[in-house]
Amino acid sequence: MNACSLFFTIVRDHWARLLPLLRQQLPAAVAVAAISAMTNAFTCRTEARGFMQYRCQDCGEMIRVPFACKSRWCPHCGIARAAEAAERAKSRLLNVRHRHLTFSVPAELRPLLFARRELLSLVAKAAVQTTIQAMGTRCRAFAPLPGVMATVHTYGRNLEWHVHVHVLCTEGGLRDDGVWQPIKLFPATQYRRLWQYWLLKLLRAAVKGDRSATWKIGRLHHIHPTGFIVNVMSRYASGAKAAAYCCRYTGRPPLSERRIVAYDGKQVTLSYTDYRDGQEKTLTLPAVTFLVRVLQHVWPRYQRDVHYHGLYQPARRKWHLRAVIAASHYGDQVRPLPPVSRQERQRQSGAELQCTTCGGRLSIELMKFPRKRPDALDLPGPPGTVLQLLLSM
């Protein structure tokens, strides 16, 4: 199934050389996650992952449907995962104007974040604290609280390690006196200084005891006297439009296959737009170097790249929603859009499962689940033998 993917063709061709390099060049948790992601994607929709067996109630035809891996790295499941991420975000974001900001981490801090991936959550927290504090100064009597969604990205357009945070925030906030305060002013100078303050403060506290890291962090106040880069980006008329844009990047890998323009078995050429001059460029790398550069961006297990704060804080989101509805002139119109279920999306796309012979209704006859994941070392060849648990219906 995945053999049709050019990226996975490259992985299969060079897996024997790639595997030891992943363990040597990447942090242990990232290497494990990368191997697991590739293994899951290669066994996606094969009986090695288990399957659901259906029987047509009209003609008796039997149909087996293998389980999907649900990985963002899979060319099949990645699309569905991105759609689900967008639906989840739409169901959380208020239906009000949003602003998109990008917070960049300076190059001096990137090696530290590469080696210690757990610090990426602090990068998101620093961007959130910057946004909430800056917007709170728009009304000194009652500091407005905005809704903030922060997504951490670790890759640049040429796949280098370039940590930055995409922040979606409401163009306004809820004040303590129950009034909705519109905010349209996002001064870059203020955001740059606050971003530097919060990022260095949180990282310094996290690496306390590491004298080398503490010294490097302390120097950055002098190296960047005007603060760290913050770009105030686009405006979106509603939460749904904001989520649709930003969630294109949360559920998919860092590289679209359309950007792989050439592969000769040894080298890979990819295209990208250089943000410095806006020019379309190409980059040619040895295949193994290319794969390591892509897979360094796999997130370790249990780490999140999307964070919700302010009005979107999960623990108080429902209370905040009621308060915003009461404060808004538009009442219920600010309510987030209800999510569209996977079944509904399948129905709308005509992808509902039907009998291939007569188009009749199918009933579940058997389910088979793997008792353990396939061995990653079996990736280049056919899937290995997998012990399975059968469940008859």
Position 62 scores a pLDDT of: 86
CA angle (273 as vertex; 300, 106 as ends), nearest 5: 50
pLDDT tens, position by position, 344-393: 655 554 445 777 778 788 888 888 877 655 444 444 443 333 333 333 33
Position 245 scores a pLDDT of: 73
Question: What are the structure tokens assigned to 66, written together?
Answer: 């293998």
Residue 235 in any domain: the answer is: yes
Query: What value does the mean pLDDT take over residues 133-141?
Result: 88
Nearest in space to 259 (alpha carbons), one of 290, 298, 296? 290
pLDDT band, very low/low/confident/very high, at 146 (cuts 50, 70, 90)? very high
Question: What are the structure tokens assigned to 249, written together?
Answer: 């990047």
Query: What value does the mean pLDDT take over residues 140-169?
Result: 92
Position 300 scores a pLDDT of: 93
Residue 72 in any domain: the answer is: no
Position 214 scores a pLDDT of: 93
How many distinct structural domains can be found in the chain? 1
Residue 206 in any domain: the answer is: yes
Question: What are the structure tokens assigned to 80, written together?
Answer: 């569905």
pLDDT tens, position by position, 67-120: 888 888 887 787 777 777 778 888 888 989 999 999 999 999 999 999 999 999
Residue 187, SS3? Answer: coil
| 286 and 266 Cβ atoms separated by less than 8 Å | yes
Residue 194 in any domain: the answer is: yes
Position 383 scores a pLDDT of: 35
Residue 298 in any domain: the answer is: no
Question: What are the structure tokens assigned to 185, written together?
Answer: 């002013």
Task: Report strand pairing: 180-182 vs 51-56.
Answer: unpaired
Inform me whether the pLDDT recorded for 275 exceeds 80.
no
* Count of CB atoms situated within 10 Å of the CB of 352: 10
Where are the extended beta strands (E) located within 120-160? 147-155
pLDDT band, very low/low/confident/very high, at 145 (cuts 50, 70, 90)? very high
Single pTM value for the model:
0.85
Position 157 scores a pLDDT of: 85
Question: What are the structure tokens assigned to 26, written together?
Answer: 């990447």
Map tokens 């469940």 to a residue. 391
Position 248 scores a pLDDT of: 65
Q: Residues near 162 by Cβ (< 8 Å), separated by ≥ 6?
A: 104, 105, 110, 153, 154, 155, 156
Residue 329 in any domain: the answer is: yes
Question: What are the structure tokens assigned to 30, written together?
Answer: 């990232």
Residue 225, SS3? Answer: coil
Beta bridge partners, 174, equal 145, 180
Position 4 scores a pLDDT of: 53
pLDDT tens, position by position, 27-60: 999 999 999 888 888 888 888 888 888 888 888 8
Tell me which residue range forms the domain holding 322.
Answer: 92-254+303-337
| 334 and 326 Cβ atoms separated by less than 8 Å | no
Output the average pLDDT for the chain.
84
pLDDT tens, position by position, 299-349: 998 898 999 999 999 999 999 999 998 888 777 788 887 776 666 655 554
> What whole-number distance in Å separates Cα of residue 263 and Cα of residue 14?
12
Residue 71 in any domain: the answer is: no
Residue 315 in any domain: the answer is: yes
Q: What is the largest CA-CA distance in the chain?
A: 77
> What whole-number distance in Å separates Cα of residue 337 and Cα of residue 276?
37
